[in-house]
């Protein structure tokens, strides 16, 4: 299969889908990027003065926010002030010709602007309205504001992340937002499929994503364990609490690697790789139940073995014995790894980030579709004239008047 962003291939599966992105910051723009990655035309509506606040994020390179670039390359930007009735009217008109609108305002805001699903779908019943919020559109907490950090704590993730003797720990990146954005794109695709399956005139519908729900789902059995047995799952550090041996280990040269002997066959292969076939018949380590009961002692054995060799040598031995293992990579490791550079990393064209800049491309691969090109990060309102003039038929005089009133930006010749 061709690398994403490589030679031209068949159009993406979402080619012809028009998305109006009203989202800002992280989660909703992630959903927009997921859809754009597979062929959708994503029109990003931004505040005409400041744009998406993510443009101000750090770190930045020559004034261009790196995080904003990753999520918004290849989208088209229209500067419209949604606080003004004239601005909301423009977006409603754009929505008439759209397949999807993505928004991440606090529940009730869109309705207060006359832009809820009922209003937007009146002239476009096939519209899909994808809504991302902290706690969802329903429930006692629906009106609360919410960012990723709140979702990471409310979902139970932070409680389980870390070591038994350290405080609950949130991740140093937009974990909840990313998971919610990917889930929102998945929900949007399902809604589009349902619409297509329904035939001509089928309704689009609403997709309701709470930041915490996808994250709560990936916590595994934590909630089910408590509700069925009364046991509250605790922090285990690098251990899984379900299988042994598993963890992150330091090699002789200071390099780190992971080993996941999470089933019986792999555990037995690990013992062979370590030159310890005697462990396979030792009652303390012969089964996963026994290994979990004696996990501390077994971990000491594995730690001791890994520390006898440089990381590359350990990994080579484990690979020879088909033990599941990998280096603990930092960003430099990833950018130099031949597997990731061939399959996963893509470049951003036409930015001040430079020709060597790379980022992760689409999160999955589809036969016959090489993926998009990431052809530049739009300036605020860069495509206002193009989209409002061509799609809505606004004249130069009308665009000039709206710009003079502060309703739009980027409309100058």
Secondary element (H or E) of residue 226: helix 222-229
Per-residue tokens: 338: 């031949």
Edge-to-edge, what's the strand order for the sheet holding 256-260?
A: 246-250, 256-260, 325-327
Let me know: does 302 contact 245? Beta carbons within 8 Å: yes
Secondary element (H or E) of residue 358: strand 358-360
Rounded CA gap, 74 and 53, in Å? 18
Let me know: does 126 contact 98? Beta carbons within 8 Å: no
The DSSP bridge pattern shows strands 205-210 and 41-46 to be unpaired
Rounded CA gap, 28 and 132, in Å? 6
**Selected catalytic residue, list 177, 367, 391, 405:** 177
Per-residue tokens: 409: 């930006």
> Does 177 participate in catalysis according to the annotation?
yes
Eight-class DSSP state of 54: G
Rounded CA gap, 283 and 294, in Å? 10
Enzyme catalytic residues: 177
């Amino acid at each position: 299969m061709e690398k994403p962003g490589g030679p031209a291939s068949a159009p993406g599966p979402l080619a012809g889908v028009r998305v109006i992105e009203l989202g800002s910051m992280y989660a909703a723009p992630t959903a927009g990027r997921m859809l754009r990655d597979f062929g959708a035309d994503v029109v990003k509506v931004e505040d005409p003065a400041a744009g998406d606040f993510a443009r101000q994020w750090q770190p930045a390179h020559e004034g261009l926010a790196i995080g904003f670039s990753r999520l918004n390359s290849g989208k088209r930007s229209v500067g419209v002030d949604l606080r003004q009735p004239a601005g909301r009217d423009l977006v409603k008109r754009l929505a008439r010709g759209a397949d999807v609108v993505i928004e991440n305002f606090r529940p009730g805001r869109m309705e207060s602007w006359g832009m809820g699903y009922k209003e937007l779908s009146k002239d476009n019943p096939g519209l899909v309205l994808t809504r991302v919020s902290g706690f969802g559109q329903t429930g006692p907490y629906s009106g609360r504001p919410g960012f990723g950090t709140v979702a990471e704590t409310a979902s139970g993730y932070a409680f389980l992340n870390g070591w038994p003797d350290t405080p609950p720990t949130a991740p140093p990146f937009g974990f909840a937002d990313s998971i919610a954005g990917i889930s929102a794109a998945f929900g949007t695709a399902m809604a589009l499929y349902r619409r297509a399956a329904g035939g001509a005139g089928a309704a689009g519908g609403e997709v309701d994503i709470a930041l915490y729900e996808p994250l709560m789902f990936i916590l595994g059995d934590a909630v089910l364990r408590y509700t069925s047995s009364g046991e509250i799952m605790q922090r285990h550090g690098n251990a899984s609490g379900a299988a042994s041996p598993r963890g992150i280990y330091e090699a002789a040269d200071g390099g780190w690697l992971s080993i996941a002997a999470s089933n019986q066959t792999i555990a037995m292969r690990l013992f062979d790789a370590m030159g310890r076939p005697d462990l396979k018949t030792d009652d303390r380590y012969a089964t996963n139940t026994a290994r979990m009961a004696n996990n501390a002692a077994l971990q000491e054995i594995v730690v001791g073995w890994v520390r006898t060799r440089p990381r590359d040598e350990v990994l080579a031995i484990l690979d020879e014995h088909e033990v599941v293992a990998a280096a603990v990579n930092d960003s430099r490791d990833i950018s130099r790894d031949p597997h990731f550079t061939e399959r996963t990393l893509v470049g951003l064209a036409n930015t001040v980030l430079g020709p060597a800049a790379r980022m992760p491309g689409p999160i999955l691969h589809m036969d016959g579709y090489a993926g998009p090109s990431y052809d530049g990060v739009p300036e605020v309102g860069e495509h206002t004239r193009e989209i409002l003039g061509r799609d809505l038929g606004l004249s130069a005089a009308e665009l000039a008047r709206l710009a003079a009133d502060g309703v739009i930006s980027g409309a100058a010749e």
